[in-house]
Amino acid sequence: MLKARVLTSFCLVPLALLIFFFIPLDAFALSLGLVLVVAGWEWIRLTGLILKGFNWIILLFFMGFIFCSYHLKVIYVPVFLAIGCGFWLGALWLVLNYPKSKEQLGDRWMKIGFGLFVLIPAYLALLDLRRDESHLLLLSLLMTIIWAADVGAYFVGKRYGRSRLAPSVSPGKSWAGLFGGLIAALAIGLSIAFIGEPEESKYTPTSWALFVVIVTVTVLFSVLGDLFESLMKRERGVKDSSALLPGHGGILDRIDSLTAAAPVFVLLVHWTGWPSI
């Protein structure tokens, strides 16, 4: 299992770097759209809907939403990101109250609707970042923040985690892991921001304070994204969203944190004007 995980990572990391930082915008939008189509297929499976022909029709509708998102006017993007963040606040309630919130999760069709709120705002957020003139810095920050939070939470939680964060949803996550991940994300994020600080316009104390807030909120939402997918998998009675990535599970298992973190990160960047302030 470990060997398969390492080999898959060696393939995925260069591919992710290529997609996020080196290919043109249109190719980025197409590549990201394909990744999310696969994630959409996995989400349909997680809902328990097994109507093969109908599943493909739903997936086609989902592809249509991605196509419309690509052509959405930039002025409307923050509105849809705010809607997406509103969904995640509702998801927080579902996670904190599980299993009492089982009834509010609804039937399979409602869960399919949840998938749109999980994946489409994430697509809009990442596309908006890629279009930004500071996309190299912003994408680097978002990806490293999530990565650092995940790694920090794993090691700190493994060593010190005793009080469980959401035992009914994901017994392996702890409060110690959450704080360890947050500290790691702040350390890495501040380092990246310092390295990327423009010589001609140094960041102000206000900029640094706002950045700490942005990182903190982003990390909290990334944990929520992970927990909500865990809730969906627990409802379905599966360990992974699929077996597409040997040693890693499915696409959703790799991007669950990103789906919640990306919309709030971009929305906060829009609202605060960081890093231009």
HSE-up of 216 (CA within 13 Å, CB side)? 7
pLDDT digits (tens, 9 = 90+) for 5-24: 667 777 778 888 888 888 99
Q: How far is CA 160 from the centre of its chain?
A: 25
For residues 171 and 194, is the Cβ–Cβ distance under 8 A? Answer: no
pLDDT digits (tens, 9 = 90+) for 138-171: 999 999 999 999 999 999 999 998 899 999 999 9
pLDDT digits (tens, 9 = 90+) for 168-221: 999 989 999 999 999 999 999 999 999 988 777 788 889 999 999 999 999 999
Model's pTM, two decimal places?
Answer: 0.94
pLDDT digits (tens, 9 = 90+) for 59-69: 999 999 999 99
Checking if the pLDDT of 2 tops 90, the result is: no
Residues 6 or more apart whose Cβ sits within 8 Å of residue 1? 247
For residues 222 and 188, is the Cβ–Cβ distance under 8 A? Answer: no
